[in-house]
Structure 1
């Protein structure tokens, strides 16, 4: 299979038009069409469907597109590694950080440490939701991600990092709950929670389910800005991991209390592909991430006696 044809194919799918792809690739459209036809002959599959609006990949085309991205990326990294041999670690590394998690505390230290140790590495930091980040890793478009989750998923591995306890967070206009906070006492409280596929929502739903109940969800919000504004306006309360709870409280003067009956903890993990090896620079960044998590865990442990609800380390 010709690498150049794979590059052409990926560009066509990305743009969705043979004509526009030909212009970007500086190749005549008939020549590009011939390259595509040759590729389809090699794989013995129709890869694209032509429509009035352009082209879209067939199911076989979607499969080849995912593999082609991985193949081209590995070839590019191999070239970079060969050129940089003996000159220090260099190359591009993409790291996803789930918003509203302890991962936010890692971003600046990660940038600082990578710049100091490996100035040849160019970091791409993507702050996005866990489902999006995990899909990017599955497709070979991202190296690593720090997100909530610990359940095995085909195509992904999760290395446990921290466990964050969940807190009830509410505005001053709503009476604070009795202490200690029991989940059973929150059955009738109006709550803002994320969508059901969110890991934190799953934890909350499961905890209520064990009590034979369900949370009273009045709105599903996944925007940290909107959630903070809703709490500040006194519209309701929410349940959040420790790190995001602190952010909301600091932003709008809300109250927070850890749910201790039962204790619910959100597992923060380092996610990567279970079949694609990390490049040399990506491995170097992973090592730094694990160092920073250990430091964060030690720091949290040192203040946990004075401030309950700190993150719990799970990295050995």
Structure 2
């Protein structure tokens, strides 16, 4: 099979239109349509549904799309390995980090360390939700990720790295945050909370803790943007719930009140995850080992389990 047809097919699905894909690939539209027809003949399946709005993959097309991404990425890894044979690791490596987590804290140190040790590696860092990142790893579009442990997930291998307690983070004067060292779930019931949406692990564990206490969190805003969250907390518009390490990294905790949540404590687990069916490329292995070093060093310096 000509892998150029697979590449063209992926671009068509991504673009949602043969016309747009032809412009992107600088290929005449009839020639691109012919490539799709050849693929459909080879697989004996209709791969695309054509309409006035563009094209969409059939079930068979979606299956081919997933495998084509893996095949093309493996070819990219093979080319990179051949190109740098006998030299330092080189090529592109994609790393996912969960927002509002220790992973986000490690993004800058990881980038700095890769630039210092492996200047020929192009590091791509993506902050996104665990489900999105897990799917990217399963389909081969991402090499590894440091995310809240959502396992087990088929196709993804989880290596547990840290367990952290969640804390209330609030502006001074927010009750009951200014009273004592810890705060209970019951005391949080009347606190205005700014939390991520329900698809985020932080929100899910907070909701679960309140539900088990037969309480309902008072969520006054759902914020996915770290910058907006920082501004809102500092302005006293509400409090939030974060692991201590993440709060320390993204907020000026010297001017805020941070209290560990107890009765019960709320824990989150963070894992380094990779594909369980696709081996890491040489540059990805180098970044994986480096990331591992940074996580362990962070644990020694900041506690956690």
Does the alignment reach a TM-score above 0.5? yes
Please point out which of 229, 237, 240 is paired with 1:238.
240
Question: What CA RMSD, in Å, does the superposition of the two structures yield over aligned residues?
Answer: 2.1
Residue by residue over 1:123-167, the C-alpha shift from the partner in whole angstroms, topping out at 9 and shown as x without a partner, is 111223333322222221111111112431122122112222211
Gaps (5+ residues) in structure 2?
A: none
Equivalent residue, structure 1, for 2:122? 122
Count of aligned pairs between the two proteins: 303
Gaps (5+ residues) in structure 1?
A: 302-311
Equivalent residue, structure 2, for 1:142? 142
Task: State how far apart, in whole Å, the 2-side matches of 1:299 and 1:173 are.
Answer: 30
Q: CA deviation at 1:119?
A: 2.5
Task: State how far apart, in whole Å, the 2-side matches of 1:88 and 1:156 are.
Answer: 28
TM-score (normalizing by structure 2):
0.91
Equivalent residue, structure 2, for 1:259? 261
Equivalent residue, structure 1, for 2:198? 196
With over 3 angstroms needed to count, the CA separation of the structure-2 counterparts of 1:184 and 1:282, relative to structure 1, is: same
Contact persistence 1:176–1:255 (CA under 8 A): no
Contact persistence 2:193–2:238 (CA under 8 A): yes
Residue by residue over 1:46-97, the C-alpha shift from the partner in whole angstroms, topping out at 9 and shown as x without a partner, is 1111222322222221221111011011012112212221122211111112
Alignment of 1:1-316 (within 5 A): 1-177=1-177, 178-179=179-180, 180-247=182-249, 249-250=251-252, 253-301=255-303, 312-313=304-305
Contact persistence 2:105–2:249 (CA under 8 A): no
TM-score (normalizing by structure 1):
0.88
With over 3 angstroms needed to count, the CA separation of the structure-2 counterparts of 1:257 and 1:11, relative to structure 1, is: same
With over 3 angstroms needed to count, the CA separation of the structure-2 counterparts of 1:250 and 1:39, relative to structure 1, is: same
Contact persistence 2:144–2:272 (CA under 8 A): yes
Q: CA deviation at 1:175?
A: 2.8
Moved over 6 A (4+): none
Q: Mean alpha-carbon deviation: is it higher for 227-236 or for 256-265?
A: 227-236
